[in-house]
């Protein structure tokens, strides 16, 4: 039996990746007890030499099939500064990373246009607001899991070298376990006879190209490439055209483990560092020191896999089966979630603050003289090098003015959070009022298109 969930279109389940069976069906509990128990296979010895990052996935896939090694593919948007340090550390390697990476066929891709849904279920299993993401695949391209993560705090709050080391080791143990095929917990093998299906093959690409003609244009250093966040914008454009887009979903994507009451140890990836009182996790019986292993029928290799399960869960009430290890004891339970459980601080996301939904203010808000001082809203409207050409200029608003409220909202907000608030709370055609220091009010009708 398969469990399907209702999601906004922008986050709907990928058609080519089946939902895994859930714990508790038939002999599923005994199977997961074995899966999460001691590994039975033998990981091949370190072959030595340099870690080779291959730029051609098809060639790497052929090599993996010939050698029966698993595949580790990283996706990196080179012009983006986000996660650049982590990307550099992975490429340069270390005494802990290299012996594990050498046991994989390692691939580095730098153009999201090369994403192929037969192998990379980016619609449902990739956080498209990140500029670095990793996929673990079987030697034939079958999907195992993912690695990556970020939050509103920093690029490194959710990932580390130690976390990647632990995920690599867990994948190797899984890949070389002789019982793996009998478990039947891996995703279906990709249909390699079907044509490649990537971002440029979607309706969203044509829609985004109309809105932003420079999409994927030449970059002075890195040439022509498609960014992952642009792929996210394509999904938004598709949903808008079909009338299924829910702006509120933008603040509810990729929930954190803390949303269900779990704090995970960053470096381990799956060890529970703490459980919030009266949370869904506490009600499920999870304790500090437990190590998560399965969620909704998905084997977890690291924190990103768990967040992915939460990301694909329902937007309201849902039950998420879990299995974990407590020392040598196998334990199961259900996360019972309800209400607005998914909401997270997502204003850092480019698909949110610079997304293709909702209107802009008519200008870009720069911090004003009292910004960040706890004295209320303080922004200055930047209108570009030729302010008189901007429609908002006709309202009387000028770049040197300090805006202290937008309508009745006068909260001191960081710029990206303010832009996100504005997009989510206004629609094209709305009249918005800007009050400046001194009390003068300027009224502006938000254009239908910008």
Least trusted range by pLDDT, from 9-23, 71-85, 191-205: 9-23
202 CB-side CA count, 13 A: 27
Strand boundaries in 62-137, DSSP class E? 71-76, 105-109, 132-137
| pLDDT for the residue 79 | 83
Same domain membership, residue 382 and residue 284? no
Distance between CA 107 and CA 114 in Å, rounded?
12
Is 235 among the domain residues? no
Report the largest interatomic distance among the alpha carbons of the chain, rounded to a whole angstrom.
Answer: 74
Q: How many domains does the chain have?
A: 3
Vertex 44: Cα angle to 43 and 45 (nearest 5): 115
**131-175 pLDDT per residue, tens:** 999 999 999 999 999 999 999 999 999 999 999 999 999 999 999
| pLDDT for the residue 4 | 33
Same domain membership, residue 331 and residue 186? no
Q: DSSP class of residue 302?
A: S
Same domain membership, residue 318 and residue 191? no
Is 194 among the domain residues? yes
Q: CA-CA distances (angstroms) from residue 118 to 123, 152, 166, 337, 386? A: 12, 31, 26, 31, 47
Please report, for the domain that includes residue 372, its CATH number.
2.30.42
281 lies in which domain range? 257-337
Is 284 among the domain residues? yes
The number of residues in the chain equals: 450
Q: What is the mean pLDDT of residues 298-322?
A: 98
Distance between CA 352 and CA 332 in Å, rounded?
36
> What is the percentage of the chain residues whose pLDDT exceeds 90?
87
Of residues 29 and 50, more confidently modeled:
50
Same domain membership, residue 373 and residue 322? no
pLDDT value at 449 more than 80: no
């Amino acid at each position: 039996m398969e469990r399907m969930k209702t999601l906004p279109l922008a986050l709907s389940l990928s058609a080519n990746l089946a939902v895994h069976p859930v714990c508790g069906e038939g002999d599923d509990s005994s199977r997961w007890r074995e899966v999460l128990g001691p590994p039975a296979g033998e990981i091949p010895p370190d072959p030595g030499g340099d870690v080779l990052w291959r730029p051609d996935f098809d060639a790497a896939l052929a090599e993996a099939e010939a050698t029966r090694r698993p595949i580790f593919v990283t996706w990196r948007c080179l012009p983006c500064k986000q996660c650049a340090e982590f990307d550099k550390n992975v490429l340069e390697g270390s005494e802990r990373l290299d012996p594990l990476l050498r046991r994989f066929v390692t691939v580095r891709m730098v153009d999201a246009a090369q994403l192929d849904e037969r192998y990379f279920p980016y619609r449902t299993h990739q956080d498209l607001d990140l500029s670095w993401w990793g996929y673990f695949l079987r030697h034939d391209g079958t999907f195992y899991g993912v690695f990556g993560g970020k939050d509103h705090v920093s690029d490194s709050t959710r990932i580390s070298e130690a976390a990647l080391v632990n995920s690599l080791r867990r994948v190797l143990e899984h890949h070389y376990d002789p019982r793996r095929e009998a478990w039947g917990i891996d995703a279906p093998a990709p249909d390699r006879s079907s044509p490649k299906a990537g971002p440029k093959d979607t309706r969203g690409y044509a829609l985004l190209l109309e809105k932003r003609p420079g999409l994927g244009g030449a970059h002075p250093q890195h040439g022509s490439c498609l960014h992952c966040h642009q792929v996210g914008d394509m999904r938004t454009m598709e949903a808008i055209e079909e009338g299924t887009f829910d702006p509120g979903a933008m603040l509810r994507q990729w929930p954190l483990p803390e949303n269900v009451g779990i704090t995970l140890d960053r470096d381990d990836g799956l060890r529970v560092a703490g459980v919030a009182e009266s949370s869904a996790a506490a009600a499920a019986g999870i304790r500090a020191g437990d190590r998560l292993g399965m969620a909704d029928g998905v084997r977890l290799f690291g924190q990103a896999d768990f967040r992915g399960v939460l990301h694909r869960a329902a937007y309201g009430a849902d039950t998420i089966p879990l299995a974990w290890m407590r020392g040598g004891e196998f334990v199961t339970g259900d996360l019972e979630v309800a209400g607005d459980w998914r909401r997270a601080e997502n204003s850092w996301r480019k698909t949110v603050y610079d997304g293709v939904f909702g209107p802009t203010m008519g200008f870009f808000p720069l911090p004003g003289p009292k910004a960040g001082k706890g004295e209320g809203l303080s922004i200055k409207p930047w209108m570009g090098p030729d302010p008189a050409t901007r429609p908002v200029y006709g309202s009387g608003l000028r770049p040197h003015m300090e805006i202290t409220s937008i309508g009745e909202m006068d909260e001191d907000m960081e710029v990206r959070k303010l832009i996100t608030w504005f997009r989510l709370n206004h629609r094209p055609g709305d009249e918005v009022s800007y009050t400046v220091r001194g009390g003068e009010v300027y009224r502006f009708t938000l254009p239908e298109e910008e």
